[in-house]
Structure 1
Amino acid sequence: MKKSSIHLLLLLGWIALGTALRFTNLESKPPWSDEWATLVFSLGNSFRTVPLDQVIELETLLSPLQLNPAQQTQDVIHHLLTESTHPPFYFVVNHWWLKLFSPDVGLVSIWLGRALSSCLGIVAIPVMFGCSWLLFRSLIICQLAAALMAISPYGVYLSQEARHYTLVIIWVIFSLTFLTIAVRHLGQQKSISLSLVLSWIVVNGLGVATHYFFCLTLVTEIVVLFGFWWRDFRKNPKNILNNYWSKIYLAIIGTIISCSVWIHTWRSIPDNQLTSWVFNENPLAQFFEPILRLLVWLITMVFLLPIEGVADWVSIASGAIILALLIWLVPTWIRNFKQNQKLQSINLSTRVLWRFVLSAIALILVITFVFKADLTLSARFQFFYYPVILLLFSVILSIYWQQPNQKNYWFKPQGKKVIGITILMGILGSLTITNNYAFQKVERPDLVVPVMIEAYQQVAPQTPVIIATLHQTHGQTGEMMSIAWQFQELIKQNRLDFQPQFLLIHQPEKDLTIASSILQQAISATPSRGATAAIPRPFQLWLVNVSELNNLEQFQCNAETNFKRKTTGYRYQLYNCRE
C-alpha cells in the first residue's frame, strides 16, 4: 500500500474516533442557561416573551424553545443583538441547521442543537491536519496534530456544548496558519500573495463575527508580529517599508475594518449584567488561584481523568496519576522541543507558535490582574490558544516517533510508547467528559428536580408547586428553563403526575424592594388591590437562588429545614404555605 494511502486511512481513523467520542452520550447531560440562549436565539425566538412577575405554567416558560417555521434569519440577528452579548454568525448558521433537520412543530431537540457543535469539532480534525502540513511539511506532525484534536478532552468538552466555540476554533487554526506563513515570508524577504491577505482578513472577520473573544487571537497575533517588526526595524528602519511588510499592514488594516462594525455592541458589554460575573472577582486578593486554574485548563487540553461526580479517593487518585505522568514526561518534552528547534524546516514555525502561546497567557494574566476581568474563571475562554498548544505538543511528540524503544529502559519516556500513552490518556480523558466525570455543566438541574419531587411526595402531596426566582437577565430565565426541561422530560416518560408552576420576579438592578413586594403579593392569602390573584392554598414554594428575601412566615409560609439544599448553579429552599 502506498504511503499516501496509509496516511489517508490513518486520518480517516482519527476522524472516526473523534466522531465517536463527540457523539457519545451527546444528549445525556442536562442543558444549561447558555445552551438555552444558543437555541432560543438560533430559533429566532426571544426570551422576552416569557411573562415576568406572575405565576406561569411550565409550557409557557418553555415556549421560546418551540420551533416556528415563520421565524427568519433577520429575527435571529434582531433578538441576539438586542438581548445578548454575542455576534450573530454562529447563531445564523445554527438557525439554518435547525430548520434543515427539525420538524415543523414541537420543542427543539437538544441532541440536534448540540450536534452542529460536534460536527464542527470533527471538521477541526482534518483542518488541523491540513494546516499542520502547511506549517511543517511533516506527515508525522500532521497525524499527531489530527490525533490530538480528535482525542483532546478539552476539545470533546467544547464539542458537546450547544455553543459556538468549535466554529471559532476553526477560524483560530486558519488565522494562525496565515500568521505563520506571513512570518515565514518575512524571513525570506518575500511578499505574501494578495489572495492570502484577503483570506486572512475574511477569516479574521468571520472569527470576530462568531465570538468577540476572537479579538484575543488578533491581539496576540499583533504582539507576535510586533516582535518580528522590531527585529527588522533594528536591523534597518527602511526594512519596515518594504513590500513584504506592506502586505501585512494591509491585512491588519483590513482586519480592523472588518471588526469595526461591532464597535457599537462592544461598548455595552462591560456594563452588561450577562458578563458581570467575570468582573465580580478580585484576582489580586487570591493571586495564585487564576494561575493555578490556567495551568489546569492547559493540562486538560491533553490529559484528564475522572474528578467530578466520583468518590473523593477517585478524584485524588486521578490527580496523582496526571501529576506523576507530567513529572515523568515534562523533562523530555523540554529536551525534544530544544531538539526540534535545531531543524530548520520546523524552527521558524515553532518559534511563531511558541511566542503566540506565551503572549496569549500573558494577555490573559494582564486582563485578569490589571483589568480585574478574570478570564481564568471559565475553561471555555481558553479556546483562542488551544489549537496552538496541540500543534506545539505534536511537534514535541514527533521526536518520540523517531526514537527506538529500548527494552532495558522501559521506565524512561522515550520512543513510540510515549505517543501511545498520550493517545490512551487522551481517549480516557474524552471518555471522562462523555460520561460526565469532568467539566460538568455550570448548572445541575438534574440534581435539583429529584429533591423537589421527593419534597412533593413527603411534605404535601397533591398540592401545587411554585418555583420562584429573581430575574435580571435571560440567564435566570435559562436557569428556570433547565429545571422546567427536567420536569418536562419526566412528564413525557409518564414518570411524573404533576407540573410545577414558575414565578420569575424581576429585580431591577440590586433593588429588592419591588421584588419582595411582588413575591409577597403572590403568596399573600389576600392580595392588595390591583395585584395578581393569589395562589390557591395550600402550596409548596421553592425559592431558587434567592437568599435575600425572608420573613415569609408572616404569610403562613414556613421553611422546611430538611429541604434547604445547594448544588452546582442552584441554592434552593422549600417553604410550605398553609391555608
Structure 2
Amino acid sequence: MYLKKSQTPLLLLLWITIGTLLRFASLGVLPPWTDECATTVFSLGNSFYSLPLNQFMGVETLLSPLQPSPEAGISDVIHYLLTESTHPPVYFALTHLWLKLFRLEDGMVSIWAVRSLSALLGVISIPAIFCLGRLAFRSLLVGHIAAAMMAVSPFGIFLAQQARHYTLAILLVIVSLGCLVKAVELIHRGEGLPSWLGLGWVGVNSLGIATHYFFILTLGAEAIALLGQAWRETQQDRLALLKPYWWRIYGVAMGSVAGCLVWIPALQAIHDSPPTQWIYSQNAIARWIEPIGRFLLWLFSMVLLLPSSFYDLSLGIIIVSGIVTLILVVWIVSHLRYGLKLQQLDHHNRSVITILREYVLAAIGLCLVLTWGFGIDLSTAPRFHFVYFPAVILLVAASLGGCWNQIVGNREQGIGNREQGAAMQRGLGGFHGAYKVRTQVPHTAPPHERLHQDGSREQGNGRKSDIPDRDENSYKSYFGKRIVVAVWLIGLLGGLVTVSNFGYLQNERPDLLVSIVKEASEAPVAIATTYKHHGQTGRMMGLAWGLKDIAVANGSNDNSRDFPQFFLVGRDRNSSSYEDAVQQLQQQLKELPRPLDLWLVNFRTKIDLESQQCFREKRSRKWAGQYNYKLYRCVKN
C-alpha cells in the first residue's frame, strides 16, 4: 500500500481524534493522587508548609493550598519547588500559566483543568511521532502507523491522564530522537550538522533536563547509540572521527552536558530528599528478578493491556488476563521481528532501526544499572520509562509497516521466479488489493536504489541472503494488513482498559478508600496519618477531595460526617520520634464529640486507643487503593 499525500491530513486527523477522545475521557472523575496534588500546589505558587501539624483541621483547611493566590507568580513556583520538592520547574511554570485560563470551582482549581495540559501534550505527541516516523523512515505509512499506535497506547494514555510532566518530556524525547536520526543520516552522507539543527538539539536537550531530571537517561542512551555509530565508522576508516562532519556532533554533546551541569546542585540534593527515599532499594541485587518483571510489564503496556487491576478485579480474572497477555506478546513479537527484518532489507531503514534499537537497549540498560548498581529502583513506577517509550512505538510502527507491504515467498523481493510472483498476485486479487507484491527491479536502476510506484526511491541491495527465512514455500497472506489491524485493535482495547481503570497501570486510588469510608461510617469521621513530608499531605488531600466531591454532590452543607477532620502526626525534628505527636492526638481525641469513627491511614507508629474508648473494627479490610487503614469506633465514656 502506498499512501497518497492528499490522504495524510484526514488520516492523521483520525488518529488525533481517537487519541483525544481516549486521553480526555473521564479526565476529571478520579480525585488527585499524591503527585498530582504536588503538581497543583507548586504550580499555583503555594507551599505545603502552610498546613498545621499535630492538630485537627477541616477539609477546607487541608485543601487550602489548592486555592490560587492572586499574588503568586512564576517566581513563587520556582521558589517552592527548589525548597520543598525535587523537580525542575518548566512544566510547573507552564501549568501556572495554563490554570489562569480556567474558572475556579468553589474557590479551588478544577482537577480536569490541571490534568488537561498533560492530556493536550499527549495528543500533540501523536502528530509528533508521525513526523518522526516520516522523517526517520521516509515513509508516510510508518508515520501513520506510529501515530495510530501512539493514539491508543495504554502507556501513553496512562501518562497523559495524570497532572504530571511526563507527556512534555515525551514530546521532547521525540524531538531529540528526530535530531539523532537526522544526525546519523548526515554522518552516512559525510555532511556536517547544520548550525540551526545543532543549536536546536542542544536547546531541546537542555529543556528536557529542565522538565524532568531523568531526561539525562535520554542523553545517555543517545550518546551510547552515537558511540555505536562511531565504532562502525572507524571500522571502515580509522580517522573517521576526525572528519569535519563529526565536529558539530561533539559541539552538541558539549552543549548538552553544559545544559545538565546547571542542575548539578539540585541533583545532589535529591539523594537526601525525604520525598525520593521510596525509590531507593536496599536489596535490589538480592531481589534482581523483580525489576526485570516490572520492566517487562511496563514494556508490554506500551502496546497492550488487558483487565488486570488488583483494585477492582478478582484473582481469577487477573490470572486469565496474564495468560492471554503472554500469548499475545509471543504472537505479536514473532510478527514484529519478521516485519523488522523485512524493513532492514532497505539500507536506510536498516541504519535507522539500528540506531533506534541501540537507543532502546541503552536506555533500558542505564535503568538497570541505576536499579542494580546504585539502588535507584526505576522499575517501581511505570512513569519513569517515558525515556524509551517513543522509540519503542516507532520500532513497532516500522515492524508493522514491513508487515503491511510484504508477502514473501521463497522467490519474493524481485529475485528469480516471476511466474510465482504473478501467481501470488492473481491469488490475492480477492483481497481487493490489500497486499502488494514487489516484482523484479529493472537492471537499469542503480543497485542501491529501487523505485516505488509513487516515484520515491528506496535504498537497499535486495540480496536474497537478506530475506528473512520464515517459510521456504510461502509466508501466509495474513501477515499483511490483518496483522497490523489486529495489533492496533489490541492497543485500542488496552487504551479502553486504561481509561476504565481496569489495568495494572494504576496510581494511588483515594476514591476506593473514600467509598469505604462513606459506606462504613455513620458517625462523624476523623482521619489521622503519620507525617514525614508533603507526600503524606498529598495522600490526605486526595481523600479530602474525594469526600468533599461526594458531599457536594449529595447537597451536604458542612455536615461533620460528610466533612471529616484530618490530623497529620508529625515527627520530632531532633529525635524523629512520633511519641509527642501521638500524645497530642490522644489528648485532642478527648475533645471531639462521640460517637466518632477514627480512621488511621498509612499510620506508621504505635498508638493506644483503647484508653480513649476507641475500639478496632475487626471486620474492616486493611488496604484499598494503596492506602493501608484501620477503623476505630470511639464511644462515650
Counterpart Cα distance in 1 of 2:399 and 2:139: 13
The corresponding residue for 2:300 is 299
The corresponding residue for 1:540 is 597
The corresponding residue for 2:313 is 310
Counterpart Cα distance in 2 of 1:357 and 1:413: 29
Q: Which moved more, 1:329-338 or 1:254-263?
A: 329-338
Does residue 549 of the first structure (1) align with residue 612 of the second (2)? Answer: no
Q: Which moved more, 1:558-567 or 1:376-385?
A: 558-567
- For 1:136-151, list aligned pairs within 5 A: 136-151=137-152
When Rg is computed on C-alpha atoms for both structures, the one with the higher figure is 2
Counterpart Cα distance in 2 of 1:109 and 1:537: 35
Counterpart Cα distance in 2 of 1:538 and 1:431: 44
Q: Which moved more, 1:290-299 or 1:304-313?
A: 304-313
Counterpart Cα distance in 2 of 1:332 and 1:546: 50
Q: Label 1:511 to 1:537 Cα distance change in 2 as closer, same or farther (>3 A).
A: farther
CA contact under 8 A between 1:443 and 1:570: conserved in structure 2?
yes
The corresponding residue for 1:43 is 44
Does residue 485 of the first structure (1) align with residue 521 of the second (2)? Answer: no
Q: Label 1:4 to 1:62 Cα distance change in 2 as closer, same or farther (>3 A).
A: same
Q: Label 1:342 to 1:550 Cα distance change in 2 as closer, same or farther (>3 A).
A: same
- For 1:138-537, list aligned pairs within 5 A: 138-233=139-234, 235-308=236-309, 309-403=312-406, 413-439=478-504, 441-457=506-522, 461=523, 464-494=524-554, 497=559, 498=561, 499-508=563-572, 511=575, 513=577, 515-524=578-587, 534-537=591-594
Q: Label 1:283 to 1:525 Cα distance change in 2 as closer, same or farther (>3 A).
A: closer
Q: Label 1:117 to 1:367 Cα distance change in 2 as closer, same or farther (>3 A).
A: same
The corresponding residue for 1:530 is none
Q: Label 1:300 to 1:412 Cα distance change in 2 as closer, same or farther (>3 A).
A: farther
Q: Which moved more, 1:30-39 or 1:502-511?
A: 502-511
Counterpart Cα distance in 1 of 2:105 and 2:588: 43
CA contact under 8 A between 1:153 and 1:304: conserved in structure 2?
yes
* 1:399 match: secondary structure: helix
The corresponding residue for 2:633 is 576
Shift of 1:391: 0.5
CA contact under 8 A between 1:472 and 1:508: conserved in structure 2?
no
One-letter code of the match for 2:151?
Answer: A
Q: Which moved more, 1:474-483 or 1:254-263?
A: 254-263
Shift of 1:303: 0.9
* 2:632 match: secondary structure: strand
Shift of 1:283: 2.1
One-letter code of the match for 2:316?
Answer: W
CA contact under 8 A between 1:29 and 1:436: conserved in structure 2?
no
Shift of 1:549: 1.2
CA contact under 8 A between 1:281 and 1:373: conserved in structure 2?
no
The corresponding residue for 2:435 is none
Shift of 1:231: 3.5
Shift of 1:541: 2.1
Q: Label 1:365 to 1:195 Cα distance change in 2 as closer, same or farther (>3 A).
A: same
Shift of 1:511: 5.0
The corresponding residue for 2:95 is 94
**Where does structure 1 lack aligned partners over 5 or more consecutive residues?**
528-533
From the two aligned structures, give the one with the greater helix fraction: 1
Counterpart Cα distance in 1 of 2:613 and 2:588: 9
CA contact under 8 A between 1:472 and 1:509: conserved in structure 2?
no
Shift of 1:494: 2.2
One-letter code of the match for 1:106?
Answer: G
Shift of 1:412: 7.2
* 1:326 match: secondary structure: helix
One-letter code of the match for 1:559?
Answer: R
Counterpart Cα distance in 2 of 1:509 and 1:372: 27
Shift of 1:551: 2.6
The corresponding residue for 2:421 is none
CA contact under 8 A between 1:157 and 1:439: conserved in structure 2?
no
Shift of 1:481: 0.4
Counterpart Cα distance in 2 of 1:494 and 1:31: 20
Counterpart Cα distance in 1 of 2:256 and 2:172: 13
One-letter code of the match for 2:377?
Answer: D
Q: Label 1:547 to 1:72 Cα distance change in 2 as closer, same or farther (>3 A).
A: closer
What's the CA shift string for 1:454-480, capped at 9, x where partnerless?
Answer: 3432xxx3xx42211111111000000
Shift of 1:410: 11
The corresponding residue for 1:71 is 72
Q: Which moved more, 1:115-124 or 1:236-245?
A: 236-245
The corresponding residue for 1:531 is none
Shift of 1:425: 0.8
One-letter code of the match for 1:554?
Answer: S
Q: Which moved more, 1:206-215 or 1:304-313?
A: 304-313
**Where does structure 2 lack aligned partners over 5 or more consecutive residues?**
408-426, 432-473
One-letter code of the match for 1:507?
Answer: R
Q: Which moved more, 1:562-571 or 1:370-379?
A: 562-571
Shift of 1:235: 4.7
* 2:513 match: secondary structure: helix
Counterpart Cα distance in 2 of 1:209 and 1:156: 23
Q: Which moved more, 1:83-92 or 1:517-526?
A: 517-526
Counterpart Cα distance in 2 of 1:310 and 1:454: 20
Number of residue pairs matched by the alignment: 567
* 2:269 match: secondary structure: coil
Shift of 1:422: 1.0
Q: Which moved more, 1:310-319 or 1:146-155?
A: 310-319
The corresponding residue for 2:118 is 117
The corresponding residue for 2:20 is 19
Q: Percent identity?
A: 42
Shift of 1:544: 1.1
One-letter code of the match for 2:355?
Answer: V
Counterpart Cα distance in 1 of 2:337 and 2:42: 46
CA contact under 8 A between 2:335 and 2:403: conserved in structure 1?
no
Counterpart Cα distance in 2 of 1:379 and 1:412: 36
Q: Label 1:440 to 1:217 Cα distance change in 2 as closer, same or farther (>3 A).
A: closer
CA contact under 8 A between 2:510 and 2:543: conserved in structure 1?
yes
What's the CA shift string for 1:79-136, capped at 9, x where partnerless?
Answer: 1111111000001111111012234971110111111111101101111111222211
One-letter code of the match for 2:363?
Answer: A
CA contact under 8 A between 2:55 and 2:588: conserved in structure 1?
no
One-letter code of the match for 1:572?
Answer: Y
Shift of 1:439: 4.2
What's the CA shift string for 1:289-334, capped at 9, x where partnerless?
Answer: 1111111111110111111122333323322332222323322322
